[in-house]
């Protein structure tokens, strides 16, 4: 019997990680003093132990630490990166593939058309492409990309500001199970697709949990940074069957989100609703 394909969570925080630069508030204070309390930016790896291949869904600024974490789980070679969109936590890790760092050779990077154009027309990303460290490959919404004979990934177009690129989530299909990776979306009701219908099709759903509730960021109009508040998701998902709610794992949590801490009241509310918060290092068979 061949070794099972699996996904592993390499980061659960919003783009800037936790603790966040410049933050000395209670949400980050202890994490500055205790590295065990820190969280990397959201990233998922797909691992095939048979072929010794690994693929990353997004390339976060924490790529060095995440690759080190991944190497302790499986020493396979990096076989490609699939990008969701052009916000800083999701593509800037590509800088570590360049000549100043890994000096990688022709790593495939799959991206949507506007995302590809953005990378191709702006430094230092264009140099990384031109020098052959990465090779851009196209994604098209709703069209599956087969990574090898055991896994394929389909980009799902979602609304999310899209100042610089499109935004997609990924449907990951292995030999036996399916997974949804959707770290960023504006609001569930702005998506023409019913999120409940997608969750019903998969075995694990890693979905946007950036903020727990409105007002979480003092002094900012949170309508300018739209995400589904976890409180909103709890209310919306309450009508789903319990087995479907059990598939949901919130990811991409902002440094202000109390659900980052398992003992917080927010985390307890999530668990009481039959939902979960993703944890770094957790693995899901595919």
Q: Three-state DSSP class for 227?
A: coil
| 57 phi and psi angles, rounded to 5 deg | -95, 105
pLDDT digits over 130-167, tens only?
999 999 999 999 999 999 999 999 999 999 999 999 99
Other beta carbons within 10 angstroms of residue 51's beta carbon come to 18
Smallest CA-to-CA distance from 159 within 168, 151, 150 is with: 168
Q: Which two tokens stand for residue 170?
A: 């990924």
Position with higher pLDDT, 73 vs 217: 73
CB 273 within 8 A of CB 234: yes
β-strands 43-48, 6-11 pairing: antiparallel
Position with higher pLDDT, 114 vs 2: 114
pLDDT digits over 235-270, tens only?
999 999 999 999 999 999 999 999 999 999 999 999
Give the CA distances from residue 105 to residues 30, 78, 99, 138, 283, in Å, rounded to whole numbers and listed in that order: 39, 10, 10, 18, 28
What is the model's pTM? Answer: 0.96
pLDDT digits over 199-240, tens only?
999 999 999 999 999 888 877 777 778 899 999 999 999 999
Q: Which domains does the chain have, with CATH numbers?
A: 6-285 (3.60.15.10)
Task: State the pLDDT confidence band at 1, using cuts at 50, 70 and 90.
Answer: low
């Amino acid at each position: 019997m061949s070794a099972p394909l699996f996904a592993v969570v390499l980061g659960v925080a919003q783009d800037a990680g936790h603790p966040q630069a410049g933050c000395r508030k209670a949400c980050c204070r202890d994490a500055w003093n205790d590295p065990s309390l820190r969280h990397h930016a959201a990233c998922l790896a797909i691992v095939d132990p048979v072929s010794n291949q690994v693929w990353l869904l997004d390339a976060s600024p924490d790529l060095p630490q995440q690759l080190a974490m991944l190497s302790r789980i499986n020493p396979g070679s990096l076989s490609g990166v699939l990008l969701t969109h052009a916000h800083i936590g999701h593509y800037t890790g590509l800088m570590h593939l360049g000549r100043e760092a890994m000096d990688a050779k022709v790593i495939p990077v799959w991206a949507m058309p506007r995302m590809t154009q953005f990378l191709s027309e702006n430094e230092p990303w264009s140099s990384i492409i031109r020098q052959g460290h990465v090779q851009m490959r196209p994604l098209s919404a709703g069209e599956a990309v087969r990574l090898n004979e055991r896994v394929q990934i389909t980009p799902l177009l979602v609304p999310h500001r899209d100042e610089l690129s499109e935004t997609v989530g990924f449907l990951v299909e292995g030999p036996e199970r399916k997974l949804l990776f959707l770290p960023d979306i504006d609001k569930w009701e702005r998506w023409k697709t019913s999120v409940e219908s997608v969750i019903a099709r998969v075995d694990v759903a890693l979905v946007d949990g950036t903020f727990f509730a409105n007002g979480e960021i003092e002094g900012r109009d949170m309508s300018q940074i739209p995400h589904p508040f976890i409180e909103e998701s709890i209310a919306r998902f309450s009508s789903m069957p319990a087995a479907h709610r059990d598939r949901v794992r919130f990811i991409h949590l902002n440094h202000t989100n109390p659900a980052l801490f398992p003992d917080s009241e927010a985390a307890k509310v999530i668990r009481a609703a039959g939902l979960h918060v993703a944890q770094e290092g957790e693995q899901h068979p595919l």
